[in-house]
Amino acid sequence: MNDILIEGGRTLLGQDILETSLQLSGLEIHAVGANRSRAPLELDARGLLVLPGIVDLHGDAFERQMMPRPGVDFPIDVALVDSDRQAIGNGITTVFHATTWSWEPGLRSADNARELLEAIESLRPRLAADTRFHLRHETYNLDAEDEIGQWLSEGRIDLLAFNDHMDSTVASLDKPAKRSRMVERTGLSNDAFDRLVERVLARADAVPASIKRLAGRARDAGVRMLSHDDDTPAMRQAFRAQGVTIAEFPVNEETARAAAAGGDFTVFGAPNVVRGGSHTGWTRASDMIEKGLCSVLASDYYYPAPLLAAFRLAADGILPLARAWNLISAAPAQACGLADRGSIAERCRADIILVDDRLPTRPRVVAVVAAGRLVYLADPDRLVRHSSAQREAIAAA
């Protein structure tokens, strides 16, 4: 069992930031404050913030490790290991890899979804972050329904999102730049892509019943569900009626307000906060946060974003840091049904990050403890080791 003492840091406890010590034992936080008995491994946190690890319920930046350029593939295991390093280095200790299974071939194909799931399952013991599978189901992908239902029954899916990008796909066919990106991703010719879209569209009437069946399978399996890019209150209400309680990236304030009023978790992208707006021209996440219409921020396509966004919100006076941090730690943990993490308290999972905040909008992760193990350390001078004899001498002093 690895015991760790984190000493002297400014620690986030509820809505307060207090200087105290943490004793970690095994996978859990053993004590907050109390008697600071020595440990085999100690971290000097003086001058640093001590924060609960980030819970990222939607991150697909790993796709760029798999295919850094259109048509340039790297092995999935290499991509996932590198993505794990990136997530941990940015303070993300629980990561849901948002894997799109579409009706397209290529990067978002059935084969890739299967390979990703198998790779995540086999690599989990080697990965520092608690790595989970978030399946983004394109609802027009009707042929996948039975297999997804089986995965739900087998407990292999941790989050299930309902995506529908068909309207935007059709709208992009007449836009050369967007069309080119879509076609390159699939590896098809232009004509073949057009024929595929036509075949998929022809089955539109079967989509609502498929969604209903899969939502039922997910409820039976106890899997939390998300709807993606809701664009009307009616759309959000329809999904909520099927047990889909997480509204992911609602495209306008009216829909976000309907989600919040209905008690749903409302997710926006942390890159939106960092950049000052959406790259699609839709809702500004900072505005939604200020109006109380955002309960969760996700990394979306950029792993550094949650950390940067929390500090950006505090620096801009939109939220105090404790409340901003809730958007990337306690709230997403609650949305995903993970009651053992997202806050610093006794018996909680020992996912802790140490942050240098001397530059308010450029926080630097100094150390990360994930499930009680020190998995990242940027400043070796912060590490204090004591031999058994030293610990006995300290205890006797």
Domain ranges (residues) in the chain: 3-52+344-396, 54-335
- Tens digits of per-residue pLDDT, 57-87? 999 999 888 888 877 888 999 999 999 999 9
Percent of the chain with pLDDT over 70: 95
Cβ partners under 8 Å of residue 392, min gap 6: none
- Tens digits of per-residue pLDDT, 42-51? 999 999 999 9
**Where is average pLDDT lowest: 175-179, 253-257, 318-322?**
175-179
CA distance 28 to 219: 30
Tokens of 260: 């919040």
CB 89 within 8 A of CB 49: no
Residue 58, φ and ψ in degrees, nearest 5: -150, 105
For 3-52+344-396, CATH number out of 2.160.20.60, 3.40.190.10, 3.10.129.10, 2.30.40.10 equals 2.30.40.10
pLDDT of 396 over the 50 cut: no
Helix (H) or strand (E) holding 85: helix 76-89
CA distance 35 to 148: 50
pLDDT of 209 over the 80 cut: yes
- What pLDDT sits at residue 5? 95
**Where is average pLDDT lowest: 72-76, 81-85, 308-312, 321-325?**
72-76
DSSP string for 193-206: HHHHHHHHHTTGGG
The pTM assigned to this predicted structure is: 0.92
CA distance 48 to 367: 10
Q: Which CATH architecture has domain 54-335?
A: Alpha-Beta Barrel (3.20)
- What pLDDT sits at residue 35? 64
CB 386 within 8 A of CB 40: yes
CA distance 77 to 178: 29
